Structure 1
Amino acid sequence: MVHPKWARRVHLYPTIDIGRIDGSLSERKAIAGEIRNACESCGFFYIKNHSIPQENVDEVFDLLKRFFALDEDVKMDAHVQKNPAIRGYEPMLETRLDPRTQGDVKEAFTMGDCYLEPEQSYTQKTGQLPPTYGTQPQNIWPKDAPWWREGLYKYYNQILPLARKLVRILALAFDLDENAFDEIFRFPITGMRSLHYPHTPLDEDKENVGLGAHADFSWLTLVLQDSVPALEVLNREGIWIDVAPQKGTFVCNVGQYLERQRNGNFSATVHRVRNKTGQERYSLPFFLTPDADAELDALECCRGDGGEMGKPEKIGVGDLYIKRVLPARKNHPTRLKFKDVP
């Protein structure tokens, strides 16, 4: 039961059928138009008929439940502080996205792009050998749960191609050639974040913040939700709106890199996760960002004085990514090492 204090308005964000994403150019442009309208109006939308079978979705949620039910010492073997790339397992309250809260009431496991792990086929995707400046994999895995790596990669290698197709659809949405962004998405920065929100007693005097208010520091985010409502979006009137789970869909939202590329014409909308039911919840967001060595500039159509951001400077994707990701991990060794770097 939802406590009256936490009752919120529900907005039906657009649900876009992408079943013809591999169809004719006119069909792809029609999808692009719908996505553009959604990004301009609210920055959030659902996609359905996305090609990932429901049995695979059910399988990955079973995988998450199995992992987070493991003994703590098994999960802590891959603790995020053992990994300089800020990947791995995060126990409860490890992060605090909203500094006004005690911390995020959730546990998580993050993996992402890694040119050294064979599952990601770096050479096949880029036509180059892996860089020689790094010898340690970007991801860390618990040694006593090999099935976890296998299962996450099975899903990762389904969601990444889908995200890449959406990149091309967004190029069409900007009236560009659909391959316009291929060069900055050859081997993109990715983050796949398995999340477990525990049973939380309802307390009318305490707001249970599973994930503090924030805007995603990505280009595009695709979120797989289970059936428990908790995701909320801050609309333009300053009201928190429920993004209700819809079976068979992903929730997609604009990230800050895409907002910058569009010079503010698309908004990276603030959102949060709050446990309003007390039920256990699982979700799996996938964050897509251009290549670490890419330089990102505002699109020609969005430059000048008309955009909300004025005349943004060109940015180095990887450098800015590090500066923005570290502050949320206040105790991580990598953050402490660079705490005095502007």
Structure 2
Amino acid sequence: MVETLQSEGIMALKPESQYVYFHSGSEASYRKISDKPTGFKSIPTIDLTDLDGSLDDRKKIAKDIYKACSECGFFYIKNHGIPEDIITETFAVLKRFFDLDLDVKMDAHVQKNPSIRGYEPMLETRLDPRTQGDVKEAFTMGDCVMEPEQNFASRTGMTKPPYITQPQNIWPKDAPWWREGLYKYYHHVFELSMKLVRIFALALDLEEEALDDMFKFPITGMRALFYPPTPVATDAASVGLGAHSDFSWLTLVLQDTVPALEVINPDGLWVDAPPTPGTLVCNVGQYMERQTNGKFPATVHRVRNQTGKARYSLPFFLTLDPDATVEVLDTCKDKGEAAKYDALNVGDLYIRRVLPARKKHPTSIAYHDVPQDQWTYSMLLK
């Protein structure tokens, strides 16, 4: 058992445990705990009241975001524009879904969907191999060129790619209200994320529209999560979701009132990211870390529900278009500095992160003997 110490909202492993374990990319990693910590001790909050204001207003928000992302990789946003009644209704829908009988939810089991979307029961994933599995249930949906709610043709001016022959999402047939309820929130958070793309362009010293062509029909994922009541534990390996960094470009998380999210700082210390009314908590993903040459780190985080209460959350993951190229931006290289990351196709990198995390999924099994450098995003769409 690994005991913890708590001080100023920071949970540090005891001195005899000198390293913290986490999962970043597709590899296990360790970080040494600093004897003289200097990293962040709390998560900053950014006010989006003027998100639709003047260019100067947006540049001020961009400046705040640059500071938060370069120093922490995490930040809260308040006055984000998603109506409170939509948020209240969304949490009610989440609770209603996870309260369903297992056989109703299993009708949309993730293994029935080539795109690795759908329902995952308790312990199905295991980000931390020291545990028996992640103590949570989940349901994932995301971008889909075939679902009318996403208006692919009108948004892009293109027709559906011929190799996509079935929807990328899967839904339980006996709970039609689930699809309707998730899409109500999806539309709001997607619109907000597209506004933030332009704010990030300003933060990276680009023209406001400079990144638009990379987000014509981006990869998205929205992951409804239920963490059941669990006993208060002192074992650091007892987690609802193992320590990891996101393989997104940007993540926006809607939390209920139950604290559980923890963020690791550069010193290897865990910092609480508790729910704050009226906010979403956001974090940089691995794609943006690559684009910024590491200036915006994809910060490692985990979920430990040690309250004895049920917890619900709804992260939204935004990634660039699957046919885009992610490479280090010129504005993110200091004078004389070389790019730390090679240019890569977004979709090809995406599948190299998704398949290793779902080794028992039929898509993973089907391509088990195919070298990773031959994996393509289209493998998820067949």
Shift, 1:8, TM fit: 5.8
Equivalent-residue separation in structure 1 for 2:166 and 2:206 (angstroms):
38
CA gap of 1:236–1:311, structure 2 versus 1, over 3 A, is closer
Give the match for residue 199 of structure 1.
229
Q: What amino acid is the match of 1:146? A: P
SS where residue 193 of structure 2 aligns? helix
What do residues 168-222 of structure 1 show as CA deviations (whole Å, max 9, x unaligned)?
0000001111100110100000000000000112244574310000000000000
Give the match for residue 122 of structure 2.
92
Q: What amino acid is the match of 1:330? A: K
Runs of 5+ consecutive residues of structure 2 not aligned to the other structure: 10-40, 373-382
What do residues 9-34 of structure 1 show as CA deviations (whole Å, max 9, x unaligned)?
42431111001111000000000000
Answer yes or no: is 1:138 the counterpart of 2:138: no
Equivalent-residue separation in structure 2 for 1:139 and 1:242 (angstroms):
33
Runs of 5+ consecutive residues of structure 1 not aligned to the other structure: none
Shift, 1:277, TM fit: 1.2
Give the match for residue 335 of structure 1.
364
Give the match for residue 28 of structure 1.
58
Equivalent-residue separation in structure 2 for 1:47 and 1:306 (angstroms):
35
Q: What amino acid is the match of 2:317? A: F
- Please say if residues 208 and 276 of structure 1, whose CA atoms lie closer than 8 Å, have aligned partners that are also in contact: no
What do residues 75-104 of structure 1 show as CA deviations (whole Å, max 9, x unaligned)?
000000000000000001111112222211
Give the match for residue 276 of structure 2.
246
Equivalent-residue separation in structure 2 for 1:280 and 1:8 (angstroms):
25
Q: What amino acid is the match of 1:40? A: S
What do residues 58-86 of structure 1 show as CA deviations (whole Å, max 9, x unaligned)?
11000000000000000000000000000
Give the match for residue 40 of structure 1.
70
Equivalent-residue separation in structure 1 for 2:7 and 2:159 (angstroms):
51
Answer yes or no: is 1:49 the counterpart of 2:47: no
Give the match for residue 177 of structure 1.
207
SS where residue 209 of structure 1 aligns? coil
CA gap of 1:276–1:117, structure 2 versus 1, over 3 A, is same
- Please say if residues 131 and 237 of structure 2, whose CA atoms lie closer than 8 Å, have aligned partners that are also in contact: no
Give the match for residue 240 of structure 2.
210
Shift, 1:6, TM fit: 6.7
What do residues 264-297 of structure 1 show as CA deviations (whole Å, max 9, x unaligned)?
1110000000122121100000000000111111
- Please say if residues 202 and 278 of structure 1, whose CA atoms lie closer than 8 Å, have aligned partners that are also in contact: yes
TM-score (norm 1): 0.95
Identity rate of aligned residues, in percent?
65
- Please say if residues 262 and 273 of structure 2, whose CA atoms lie closer than 8 Å, have aligned partners that are also in contact: yes
CA gap of 1:301–1:63, structure 2 versus 1, over 3 A, is same
Give the match for residue 117 of structure 1.
147
CA RMSD of aligned residues (A): 1.6
CA gap of 1:174–1:203, structure 2 versus 1, over 3 A, is closer
- Please say if residues 95 and 330 of structure 1, whose CA atoms lie closer than 8 Å, have aligned partners that are also in contact: no
Answer yes or no: is 1:301 the counterpart of 2:340: no
Equivalent-residue separation in structure 2 for 1:216 and 1:311 (angstroms):
19
Output aligned runs, 1:286-297, within 5 Å: 286-297=316-327
Aligned length: 338
- Please say if residues 69 and 284 of structure 2, whose CA atoms lie closer than 8 Å, have aligned partners that are also in contact: yes
Residue of structure 2 aligned with 1:272, choices 291, 302, 322: 302
Equivalent-residue separation in structure 1 for 2:7 and 2:170 (angstroms):
39
Equivalent-residue separation in structure 2 for 1:205 and 1:266 (angstroms):
31
Q: Which segment is superposed worse, 202-211 or 177-186?
A: 202-211
Shift, 1:310, TM fit: 4.4
Give the match for residue 232 of structure 1.
262
Equivalent-residue separation in structure 1 for 2:228 and 2:54 (angstroms):
45
SS where residue 238 of structure 1 aligns? coil
Give the match for residue 138 of structure 2.
108
Equivalent-residue separation in structure 2 for 1:89 and 1:69 (angstroms):
13
SS where residue 240 of structure 2 aligns? strand
- Please say if residues 253 and 282 of structure 2, whose CA atoms lie closer than 8 Å, have aligned partners that are also in contact: yes
Residue of structure 2 aligned with 1:71, choices 92, 95, 101: 101
Equivalent-residue separation in structure 2 for 1:33 and 1:130 (angstroms):
38
TM-score (norm 2): 0.86
